[in-house]
Structures are given as C-alpha cells and as structure tokens.
Amino acid sequence: MVNIECVPISAYCYTTGETVDAINKRIQRGVWRDGVHVLKVEGVKERWIDLNEVAKWARKNSIVNCPEELQ
C-alpha cells in the first residue's frame, strides 16, 4: 500500500467529489490555509492538497454526537 501525503488538487477533487470552487471558498473564509492545507509547488502550475492536514482538519471539526441518520 502506498502512503500518499499530498495530491494535485485535480486528483483530490476527482477522488472526493469536491470542487475547486469549494476549496477556494474554504481558503477565502480562512477554514483552510495556503501553505498548510493547500500547497503551491515551485515549477508546478497546479496546487496540491496536503492530505494529512485535511485529515487533521476533518477530525478536529467532526461532529462527535452525529445523529444516526447522518452516520
């Protein structure tokens, strides 16, 4: 099994079903930060997503007492 820590934003969107617009809105609202969740790699046009940081964010903001119908 390969442990991938960062992926191009296109691969992240394809895999998760999220849009680039949704990611941009998270950055604009300060939910995600450039240089932490979203990386600009020198010499690469496409931004990259740090999956470790996104996982930390998701766990930190998860709903602990989620109703059964949402689980």
pLDDT digit string, tens, across residues 4-31: 899 999 999 999 999 999 999 999 999 9
In a domain, 23, yes or no: yes
**38 inside domain:** yes
Confidence category of residue 56, pLDDT binned at 50, 70, 90: very high
Number of helices (H) and strands (E) in the chain: give both, helices first.
3, 3
Residue 31 belongs to some domain of the structure: yes
The tally of domains found in the chain comes to: 1
> What was the pLDDT predicted at 54?
97
pTM metric for this prediction: 0.81
1 falls within a domain: no
Both tokens of residue 23?
């990611």
- Tens of pLDDT, residues 39-55: 999 999 999 999 999 99
Q: Say if 70 falls within a structural domain.
A: no
C-beta neighbour count of 5 within 10 angstroms? 11
Range of the domain at 40: 6-61
Q: Is residue 71 part of a domain?
A: no
Domain-embedded: residue 26: yes
Domain assignment of residue 66, yes or no: no
